[in-house]
Amino acid sequence: MTRLDRYILAQLLWVFGFFSLVLVSVYWVNRAVRLFDQLISDGQPMSVFLEFTALSLPMLIRTVLPISAFVAATYVTLGLLRNSEMSVLQAAGISPFRIARPVVVFGLIVTAFLTLLMHFLIPEARAELARRQVEVAQNLTASLLQDGVFQHPAEGITFFINEITEDGTMRGIYLSDARSQLQRIDYTARTALIVPEATGPKLVMIDGQAQVHDQRSGRLSVTGFGDFTYDLSSMAGPAGRGRSVQELTSSELMSPTPALLAETRASEAQFRFELVSRFVDGFAAVAAALIGFSALMAGGFSRLGFWKEIVLAVVLMALVQSLTNALAGPAMRQASLAWLGAIPLALAVAASMGLIGWATRRRRVKP
């Protein structure tokens, strides 16, 4: 690596680190505020909040790194153009393709880190986060088992148990659900049990009635029931579910067994698309860096500013992301179309090479 490569690469890495720190902080604060409200309102300690935010960091970093690579490449190229350093390099006979070499190296460095995240850290973090969410949900369900106390596990929900027997049967149940602005439903039952299911815990009430009060008309209707099941997952969250495709290791995605397909409730096409995405999305940093670099190089030096080139770079990034989202649907429905995930990346690199080639052609001296 020459001194020129080290000079440009050092600037890219410095700016990349700065913007990565800023963007991760912004994303983290935005998520942490919502998570804090949710956990603290459920009575969870601060340690659970810190653990959940730490486990969500790999996913946030994976989202931020390609954006940071794009911003770093755009910012550094803009600085080289404004300071006329790019003009000096090209006057010395160095082509834009040669100047792009440290940009590609920079993108590959970020890609290596993204690959590590997507194949190892993110699946592990997702699996651990899901496991801890199940434990918290079980703790919330257990916290409902207090007799003689009016509890409010969620906004608009009031729950009361008159007595809990030694075998866990609840007697004298009162449950008021006032979350809807149109009606309030009051349930009373002689006995009840909490039953864990894959979709979340259920409250099975036996021998009771439901009183529905219509808030608009003021009418009250009463319905008796022998048994009635009330979903508690909205208060306690899902429990006992299987793993998702995102939580599986890459080796498991390569050879999905019938047991894994049944556990995740996913198709073979979703398995294949997730595996392809882990390989392809890592190289999004290379494409993002090249787009930022090539869009500015295509415009060249201008005393009127570089806002047109910056807008071009942003538009190209938006088009690549839109195409990625559009192709994700067909690729997840048919296993043979999993390769569609690589098309946006290939087109982004091809467009970048075309812009760099345009920058080279424009600077040829006419005889």
- Taking only the tens place, the pLDDT of each residue in 262-321 is 888 888 888 999 999 998 888 999 999 999 999 998 876 556 678 888 899 999 999 999
251 and 133 together in one domain: yes
Q: Is the pLDDT of residue 367 over 60?
A: no
**130: Cα within 13 Å, side-chain hemisphere:** 16
Q: Which two three-digit tokens encode residue 194?
A: 């909490």
Task: With respect to residue 236, please indicate whether it lies within any of the assigned structural domains.
Answer: no
CA–CA separation, 291 and 165 (whole Å):
67
Number of structural domains the chain divides into: 2
Give the model's confidence band at 236: pLDDT under 50 very low, under 70 low, under 90 confident, else very high: low
123 and 248 together in one domain: yes
Task: Give the pLDDT mean for 235-255.
Answer: 75
- Candidates 218, 204, 286; CA nearest to 12 is 286
| Residue type at position 171 | R
CA–CA separation, 320 and 305 (whole Å):
25
278 and 131 together in one domain: yes
Q: Which of 197, 231, 265 is the last residue of a domain?
A: 231
Q: What is the pLDDT of residue 41?
A: 58
21 and 152 together in one domain: no
Q: Which of 199, 231, 263 is the last residue of a domain?
A: 231
For helices 307-333 and 284-299, the axis angle rounded to 10 degrees is 150
Q: Which neighbouring-strand residues pair with 230?
A: 203
Task: With respect to residue 166, please indicate whether it lies within any of the assigned structural domains.
Answer: yes
- Taking only the tens place, the pLDDT of each residue in 163-193 is 888 777 889 999 999 888 888 999 999 999 8
Q: Residue 159's domain spans which residues?
A: 146-231
345 and 219 together in one domain: no
- The mean predicted confidence, pLDDT, of the chain is 85
